[in-house]
Amino acid sequence: MFEVTEVATKMIKEAFKDKPAVPSIRIQFMEGGCSGPSLGMALDEPCDDDAVFTESGVTYLVNKGLYDQVKPIKVDFVDTPMGSGFHVSSSLKKSCGSCSCS
């Protein structure tokens, strides 16, 4: 399952409102620091080994192997007192591991 909230879609379209089209957005694995690995977003072109999702006119790309490991994926936009931005949630396990964060 791949889901994008209405708020995230609105913010993505707003970011590219002056462009002729919204570029494809890749959901990708990000190496973690203290909070462990996570998923992030970047602009990219499709590859042969991608799962492709189109939500409200926006195309999202996820490597098929990664998607199989972390599905379901949900893209959201959050606005909190600590800041605002996109949040990509999945079944990816997060842990601090052996870091020395405090």
pLDDT tens figures, 39-63: 999 999 999 999 999 999 999 999 9
Residue 69: its pLDDT value, please? 93
pLDDT tens figures, 2-17: 999 999 999 999 999 9
pTM of the model: 0.85
The domain segmentation of the chain, as residue ranges, is 2-89
2-89, superfamily in CATH? Answer: HesB-like domain (2.60.300.12)
Give 65-74's long-range contacts (Cβ < 8 A, gap of 24+).
66/27, 66/28, 66/29, 67/2, 70/39, 71/1, 71/2, 72/1, 72/2, 72/3, 73/1, 73/2, 73/3, 73/27, 73/39, 74/3, 74/4, 74/5
pLDDT tens figures, 54-93: 999 999 999 999 999 999 999 999 998 999 999 999 987 6
Residue 95: its pLDDT value, please? 52
